[in-house]
């Protein structure tokens, strides 16, 4: 993702102030508002919070797409607001996926009273993805839970429980990301699906978010940028 983001940013005539990975972690301390308009953070769950906290404390706006650390998201957002910085988070930066989120919300609202249908989610990603389920799958589940109050939580396995949403996670070679939401009963089934063909859509969205976030203050997401 980092390499794809860099390629797209350069193609749009942006300057890259720093590229930081596990080989030069100490260079994080070189980021400051004089040399960086916006930081784009796609790393690992173990390092995301500290990376982002440093950016917030330096008042460097940051766009993040790292999943697996979101139990500390509210803490990070508070740090952002305390420092009058800017933070943009999305579990998925693909424009198509964010349209898919809205379709999922609408379908869940329609299915709210259809108790004869069972619900399942499936996500497939490349074998290098560390966390499961994906942040996108969790967002899909949370949006369904908002529309269906009787769904109280999600679980990362198949389930027959009426109260839970089962998310099935699969890891296969060279799969950028596929997400499926299915409602099934003995009569028929309804399925919506998003399939990414490459990582380019995610990277393009992240660069667009960085362009949009520049000179802003506050906490934002794709709904803000896309005016959904």
Tell me whether residue 193 is one of the annotated catalytic residues. no
Quote the longest CA-to-CA distance of the chain: 62
Strand, coil or helix: what is 205? helix
Strand, coil or helix: what is 220? strand
Identify any residues that bridge with 123 across adjacent strands, giving them in sequence order: 169, 179
CA nearest 121: which of 177, 42, 49, 193? Answer: 193
Q: Look up residue 142 and give its two tokens.
A: 């949370």
Are 176 and 119 in contact by the 8 Å Cβ rule? The answer is: no
Exactly one of 14, 109, 129, 216 is catalytic; which is it?
Answer: 129
Tell me whether residue 129 is one of the annotated catalytic residues. yes
DSSP 58-124: TT--EEE---S-GGGHHHHHHHHHHTT-EEEE-S---HHHHHHHHHHHHHHHHHTT-TTSEEEEEEE
Exactly one of 125, 151, 179, 194 is catalytic; which is it?
Answer: 125
The DSSP symbol for 28 reads G
Query: β-strands 118-125, 164-171: how paired?
Result: parallel
Q: Look up residue 147 and give its two tokens.
A: 């529309």
Which amino acids are annotated catalytic?
A: 125, 129
């Amino acid at each position: 993702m980092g390499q794809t983001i860099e390629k797209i940013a350069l193609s749009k005539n942006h300057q890259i102030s720093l590229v930081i990975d596990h080989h030069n972690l100490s260079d994080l301390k070189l980021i400051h508002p004089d040399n960086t308009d916006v930081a784009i953070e796609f790393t690992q769950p173990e390092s995301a919070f500290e990376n982002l906290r440093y950016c917030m404390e330096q008042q460097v706006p940051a766009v993040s797409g790292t999943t697996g650390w979101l139990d500390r998201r509210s803490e990070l957002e508070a740090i952002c607001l305390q420092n009058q910085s800017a933070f943009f988070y999305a579990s998925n930066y693909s424009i198509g996926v964010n349209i898919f989120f809205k379709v999922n919300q609408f379908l869940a609202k329609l299915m709210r009273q259809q108790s004869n249908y069972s619900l399942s989610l499936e996500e497939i990603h490349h074998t290098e993805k560390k966390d499961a389920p994906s942040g996108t799958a969790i967002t899909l589940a949370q949006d369904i839970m908002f529309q269906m109050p009787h769904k109280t939580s999600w679980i990362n396995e198949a389930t027959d429980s009426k109260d839970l949403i089962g998310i099935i996670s699969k890891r296969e070679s060279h799969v950028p990301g596929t997400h499926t939401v299915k409602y099934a009963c003995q009569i028929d089934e309804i399925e919506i699906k998003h399939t990414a063909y490459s990582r380019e859509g995610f990277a393009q969205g992240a660069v667009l978010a960085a362009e949009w976030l520049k000179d802003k203050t506050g906490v934002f997401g794709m709904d803000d940028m896309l005016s959904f």
